[in-house]
Amino acid sequence: MTDPALVTGVRRAIAALATVAVLALAGVAAIWSVRPPAAHDAGPTGFSARRAFQQVEAIATRPHPVGSAAQGEVHDHLVSVLRGLGLSPEVQDTVSVEGGALSSSAGGIGLAHVRNVVTVVPGTASTGRIFLVAHTDSVQTGPGANDDAAGVSSILEIARALTSGPRLRNDVVLVLTDGEEACLCGAKAFVDQNPLAKDGGIVVNLEARGSSGPAIMFETATDNRALIDVYAHAPHPVGTSFAVEIYRLLPNDTDFTAFREAGFTGLNSAYIDGAAVYHAPTDLPSSMDLDSLQHHGDNALAVTRDLGGRDLSTLKSSDDATYFPAPGLLVRYPGELVGPLAGLALIAVIAFGWLARRRGLTTGRKLAGGFAITLVPIVVAPVLAQVFWLVLKLIRPEYGAMPIDPYRPQWYRLGVLALTAAVLFAWYAWSHRIRRAGPVALAVAGLGWLAVLGIALATAMPGGSYLGAVPALTGAVAGIVALLTRGWWSALAIAAGGAVAVIVLLPTVIMLFPALGMPMAGVGAFLAVLLGLALLPVIELLHPIAAGQRGLAALSAVRRGAVPALAALLATVVCAAVGLSVDRFDAAHPSLTHLMYALDADNNTAQWLSKEPKVQHWTSQYVSGNPRQVNATLPAFGPEEMRTGTAQPADLPAPKLTLESDTRSGDSRVLKLRLQPQRPVRFATLHVAAGVTVTAATIGGREVSPTVKPDGPWGFGFVFHGPPADGIEVTLTVKTTGPVKFRAMDGSDGLTTLPGFHPRPAGVGILGSHSSELLAVAKTYTL
């Protein structure tokens, strides 16, 4: 005699195990789909990360910002390498204004004296131009091995591969820009002034904002469908149209901005994990994951060869594609399908709910109630993920100064995922026992929220709509099949629906954590909850909580229901503990501090300044009190608030401002000025008193728009990077006949020789930023 309940139980257990196996396979495949390829030695026409890395080591020996002597050496090296390949590089040596609306331009218009290294790899019968772009300059605080010696070295290795193989049909222009970190000035100089740019073309820009992870294609120009098709045929395409949408919300810019705004089309790629080294002294060649470099190069070389062989005049499209990675391919469909697909997903979920109700598996009331209570994990998990990071910051206050991520965030990311699972399990048990919503109503409700998200994003961020619409559609279809069939077919449908959700959502979760960092872990938790909701039928297979039990049976069911939630919560605590013990600060992974020094030559006083959101122990010996604006005496710093402290005045000369000619006509004066730093500096700035209207301005031979953002007591101003030794020529037309007050400032890098400076102990490092270790000297002139 066989017990029918036992048979059902055994069958159910086998079905559950099989489903878990399918989902685990899908998970591994999804993780694999966004992993960089292993670095390898390629043949003469292939891309070798090892060969490219030799160039990284040659370029990233020390910080080399625009205008520095070190940057001059980098230029010489690049020219000689390109000549060695039989190419004829030219140096575009010019002054340019900033490209794109950068946040660093808060204190005035950005300009730089730049030197772009530009080379054409000529095609046999060119139908258009392909531009390979990376920036040769680093920030002043780090050697820039990843940002962007990786991009430059990749282009050198691609040039080597292209010149070793058969010639392409189309011209490939290598644009190694200068002054990206300062103001995107090199890219702007190229698009505005270089004859090679006048017909536009397709840009492949290579960047890094970290030291590891896949090279993600995260930005395109609009109407990208045809180019996405090309990119999809690269050997390891990793990109999502959702990243394009997210990137537009972030206050970041790259050279690509200058090209895009000038009407170029193209693709922008970067690897972004390991972001603790970003712009920091630790952005060393040794920090680089060679697999990321291989990924950069493999894809860029393949895309260049593909585009290089086409008739570029036919490569046109009039819409944006939706695309996302799946194992072995880049899924993509035209933008015009986004709306219909989102609508179809909603209809499918409604049909699923209708069928379930018709079959007596749920009721309208349960469906409505289920939809309402499913909002609980969607809200709670992201909030708790943010709390999780707040708690970690309480335990380790130095995390507050890390701009994007800690050095080793992996355990914390797993902790966020475990916490999300704990929320989902607890909510699921509660919904069942206390609310008696029933598994079918909850499955429909979970998919319902995915469908709603798909609809909402279709209008607000079409590139992200697939995240809700695709799993909702496949999940609902799978649900309908599961209801219409029995036994194994039903389990297979549930497994297939879950696998699609894993393949669509998991890569985006994985890419989103490094993209936004732990300070915005809630966004990753949000997407993880959506994945969990799509998998509710699987959770039900795993631990069925029979409804309708009473008394002791019910109590034990509640206990059993709580087990997965408690296990996930324990996993969260373990992940946090392991993370805290693994990710300690040491000499190679220092905490990050921010300090600047400013000397006011008007009264020979000096101050320390810091932008740290919460002042750290080392920094507290220099600054204290509440943050305040400093733009009354330091207009180039813009309206940003900083903490300050009194410093000993150093014996440093102020920049000299001289009036070379003064022409009066009517109510205006035309002032020809020379701004000349009296010491080696990285940049010089000049600001005019706020009450004085500037109607025309020419700086370093370049005419600039005299518009100003109102900012404290100072009006029109500029920041000039890499000023020539004989100073910057400035011609201003001002609407006044009286004297005009000016504030001149210059900035160099390094505080170690200043009186009163105490070197950082081991384990305390320098924050990668555009103003860390800045030494500024300012003086007022009335002319």
- Residues of this chain that interact with Zn ion (CB under 5 A) are 147-148, 207
Give the nearest distance from C-beta 207 to Zn ion in angstroms.
5
Shorter beta-carbon distance to Zn ion: residue 102 or 696: 102
Give the residue with the Cβ less far from Zn ion, 133 or 478.
133
Q: Which is nearer to Zn ion, 147 or 398 (CB)?
A: 147
What is the spatial distance between Cα 378 and Cα 527, in angstroms, rounded to a whole number?
Answer: 9
**Nearest distance from residue 500's CB to Zn ion, in Å?**
36
Residue (207 or 612) nearer to Zn ion, CB: 207
| Distance of closest approach, residue 640 Cβ to Zn ion, in angstroms | 22
Per DSSP, the residues of 373-393 read: HTHHHHHHHHHHHHHHHHHHH
Looking at the Cβ atoms of 55 and 572, the one nearer to Zn ion is 55
State in angstroms the smallest separation of the CB of 423 from Zn ion.
37
Q: Provide the minimum distance between the beta carbon of 466 and Zn ion in the complex, in angstroms, as a whole number.
A: 29
Coil, strand or helix at 33: helix
Q: How far is the CB of 47 from Zn ion (least distance, A)?
A: 20
Nearer to Zn ion by C-beta: 187 or 505? 187
Distance CA(585)–CA(398), nearest Å, equals 9
CB of 283 to Zn ion, least distance (A): 10
Q: Which is nearer to Zn ion, 205 or 374 (CB)?
A: 205
Rg of the Cα trace of the chain? 30
Q: Give the total residue count for the chain.
A: 783
CA separation for the pair 119, 455 (Å, rounded): 47
* Start-to-end Cα distance in the chain: 108
The helix-helix angle for 49-59 and 150-164 (nearest 10°) equals 130
Report how far residue 536's alpha carbon sits from residue 671's, in angstroms, rounded to the nearest whole number: 72
178 or 207: CB nearest Zn ion: 207
Of 115 and 433, nearer to Zn ion (C-beta) is: 115
H helix runs in 664-722, sequence order: none
The three-class DSSP label of residue 318 is: coil
* Residue with Cβ nearer Zn ion (207 or 291): 207
Least distance (Å) from Zn ion to the CB of residue 454? 34
CA dihedral 665, 669, 672, 677 (to 10 degrees): 170
Distance CA 345, CA 534 (A): 13
Q: Which CB atom, from 144 or from 715, has the smaller least distance to Zn ion?
A: 144
Residue 517 makes CB contacts below 8 A (sequence gap 6+) with 275, 403, 404, 405, 409
Work out how close the CB of 180 gets to Zn ion at its nearest, in angstroms, rounded to a whole number.
6
Of 19 and 772, the one with the shorter C-beta distance to Zn ion is 772
CA distance 656 to 198: 39
Which residue, 272 or 539, is less far from Zn ion as judged by CB? 272
Q: How far is the CB of 209 from Zn ion (least distance, A)?
A: 7
Q: Which is nearer to Zn ion, 470 or 766 (CB)?
A: 766
Rounded distance between C-alpha atoms, residue 494 and residue 515, angstroms: 31
Residue 181 Cβ, how far from Zn ion at the closest point, in Å?
7
Query: Vertex 427, ends 431 and 499: CA angle to 5°?
Result: 100
Q: How far is the CB of 147 from Zn ion (least distance, A)?
A: 4
State the Cα–Cα distance between residues 523 and 98, nearest whole angstrom. Answer: 32
Strands 129-135 and 202-208: parallel
DSSP string, 48-62: -HHHHHHHHHHHTTS
Residue number with CB closer to Zn ion (171 or 273): 273
Residue (147 or 320) nearer to Zn ion, CB = 147
**728 φ/ψ sector (left φ>0, alpha ψ -120 to 50, else beta):** beta
Strands 605-610 and 596-600: antiparallel
Minimum CB distance to Zn ion smaller for 206 or for 491: 206
Q: Which amino acid is at 22?
A: V
CA angle 55, 57, 63 (to 5 degrees): 110
What is the closest distance, in whole angstroms, from the C-beta atom of residue 204 to Zn ion in the complex? 15
Place of tokens 């996405």: 228
b or e along 77-115 (b: 16 or more beta carbons within 10 Å of the residue's beta carbon)? bbbebbeebebebebbebbbbbbbebebbebbbbbbbbb
Tokens of 731: 């011609």
Which residues, in sequence order, are bridge partners of residue 734? 669, 694
Distances (CA, A) of 14 to 21, 494, 783: 10, 14, 88
Q: Which has the closest alpha carbon to 534: 478, 573, 609?
A: 478
Say how far apart CA 276 and CA 287 lie, in whole Å: 10
Q: Please, what is the minimum distance in Å from the beta carbon of residue 135 to Zn ion? A: 6
Alpha helices in 137-286 (DSSP H): 150-164, 180-183, 185-193, 225-232, 241-249, 255-261
Taking the complex as a whole, the smallest distance from the CB of residue 137 to Zn ion amounts, in Å, to 9
Helix (H) or strand (E) holding 304: helix 290-308
Least CB distance from residue 258 to Zn ion, whole Å? Answer: 13
Instruction: Tell me the C-alpha distance between 636 and 344, whole Å.
Output: 53
Residue 96 C-beta: closest distance to Zn ion, Å:
17
